[in-house]
Structure 1
Amino acid sequence: MMAAAECSTSCCGSAWVTIRREGAHVHWTDWENNGGDGKLPLEFRFDADQYDAELARAAAAWV
């Protein structure tokens, strides 16, 4: 789950995505949205090294 409303997923909706690593890329696919207008991206593809660096940066910000 990428995001959900504070009330509940059945009330205001939530967004789901499948994240998988394939070689030098990270893919976000198979989006689901049970709220809002239902518009969804087809796929995002990221460079795996850049993705890992951004995850590390975000994790360090939470410390």
Structure 2
Amino acid sequence: MNYTCPKCANTTYELDQIQATGGLFTKLFNIQNKKFTSVTCKKCTYTEFFKTKSSAISNIFDFFTN
């Protein structure tokens, strides 16, 4: 991935993923149906989030493991 930080122009970064709930139903049953990838600059720690697709099987797994 070619990434350049928009704040400091650094090219080293760290990738991570987070999951979040959406509406009332998903909050009640603690189902993380929204998935994001974050890109964090290693120099200034500026972070951007990009929405990624969450699979149905991972949502079902979340439901039964919570």
Q: Name the TM-score, length of structure 2 as normaliser.
A: 0.33
Q: Name the TM-score, length of structure 1 as normaliser.
A: 0.34
Which one scores higher on RCO, CA 8 angstroms, separation ≥ 6? 2
Greater Rg over alpha carbons, structure = 2
